[in-house]
Amino acid sequence: MDVDDDMTEIHRKVEYELDALSAELDNIDELDNIDQLDLLIKEITIIDRHNVTPTAQWYEDRIAYIRIYDELNWDYLIDKFNGRNPFIYQTSIQIKATMGTVLEQWSSGPFSLDQYRFIVYNVRNVWTHYKANYVGDVGYDMEDLLIDMTHL
């Protein structure tokens, strides 16, 4: 196999991976919150690994998730866990600040993929940490966390 064949094979592999991901993303709204986050993490990992430049529509679609996560009451988590749980406290501060930056960037064009990646990874991390340490229900999801954060 020569260099051209190697490059063709790599390109073909990327196309297959992106096509398979696209099929999964078509059903993202049917997934629960943690599975959605897992899929978004998988997607940004593929984008990073293969240096894919997202389309304008991709940015439009993904900012919707940032807006959803921005609606969570991060101030509640920050206040509640200040001095009690350094991970949730610090990560919540960083998520809140990063979402503000991404939303500001979006108002004038594409947002940073690094910051987007930070958000989806860490919203998942906070959610799973919170669930593992503070919630006993098996069916608990991001909506329940939103309710807890808003009403407690």
CB 137, CB 64: distance < 8 Å = no
pTM: 0.81
Mean pLDDT of the chain: 85
CB 103, CB 67: distance < 8 Å = yes
CB 75, CB 108: distance < 8 Å = no
Interval 32-43: pLDDT, tens? 888 999 999 999
CB 51, CB 10: distance < 8 Å = no
Interval 54-97: pLDDT, tens? 999 999 999 999 999 999 889 988 998 999 999 999 999 999 99
- Residue 22: closest CA among 53, 58, 63: 58
CA–CA separation, 54 vs 49, rounded Å? Answer: 13
- Residue 65: closest CA among 35, 93, 43, 37: 37
Interval 123-135: pLDDT, tens? 999 988 988 887 7
CA–CA separation, 56 vs 79, rounded Å? Answer: 37
CB 32, CB 66: distance < 8 Å = no
Least confident interval from 42-51, 89-98, 140-149: 140-149
CA–CA separation, 5 vs 145, rounded Å? Answer: 50
CA–CA separation, 72 vs 149, rounded Å? Answer: 7
